[in-house]
Amino acid sequence: MSHPPSDDSPDASAILDGLAADAERLADRVVTPSLWFYPVLAAAAALMVAAPAVEESGFSVMLLGLAGLAFALIAQEHHKRTGVTVRFGAAPKSVVLAAVVSAVLAGLLVTSFSLANAGLHSRVFATSMAAFLVTLVGSFLADRVHRAELRRGR
């Protein structure tokens, strides 16, 4: 049984306007905390990819661990500063972009290990710089795409 609309119920356009305003506020809240975020994230990725160049395996493993810890601390700081956690399922294009960046970084890490095993430690520097650039640009773009998706409601 349907009920006729009453005079005090909001109309559909007012509800949609409210949802759009909420999406805009959410997108504004998930903005990157400050300019340090992207370069520090990129430096952590570069450190991770450079680790195989260190000839002492214990120190190399320690560098990989420090890079992983840096990623976790950066993510925690981002959450603490914004106070918002957004599921990436709400933004599929940014998930794809983040996956591509992660896959490229994994490939660079494998390349770095291969170069180090071949004794070409000096060439690992190039893969490390590539990791820095891919992470810097990729995280910046993923952040922008993510906020645009949130503003559009996808």
Residue 19 lies in a domain: no
Residue 66 lies in a domain: yes
The H or E element containing residue 94 is helix 92-117
Residue 17 lies in a domain: no
- Cα gap 128→63, rounded to integer Å: 13
Residue 5 lies in a domain: no
- Cα gap 146→23, rounded to integer Å: 12
Rama region for 83: left / alpha / beta (φ>0; ψ in -120 to 50; rest): left
Residue 41 lies in a domain: yes
Q: Are 15 and 90 in contact (CB under 8 A)?
A: no
Residue 11 lies in a domain: no
Q: Are 59 and 36 in contact (CB under 8 A)?
A: no
Question: What is the domain extent for residue 54?
Answer: 34-152
pLDDT digits (tens, 9 = 90+) for 127-151: 999 999 999 999 888 888 877 887 7
| Number of domains the chain contains | 1
pLDDT at 8 over 60: no
Quickly list DSSP for 22-85: HHHHHHHHTS-S-TTHHHHHHHHHHHHHHGGGSSSHHHHHHHHHHHHHHHHHHHHHHHHHH---
pLDDT at 98 over 80: yes
Residue 120 lies in a domain: yes
Residue 7 lies in a domain: no
pLDDT digits (tens, 9 = 90+) for 37-59: 889 889 999 999 998 888 776 77
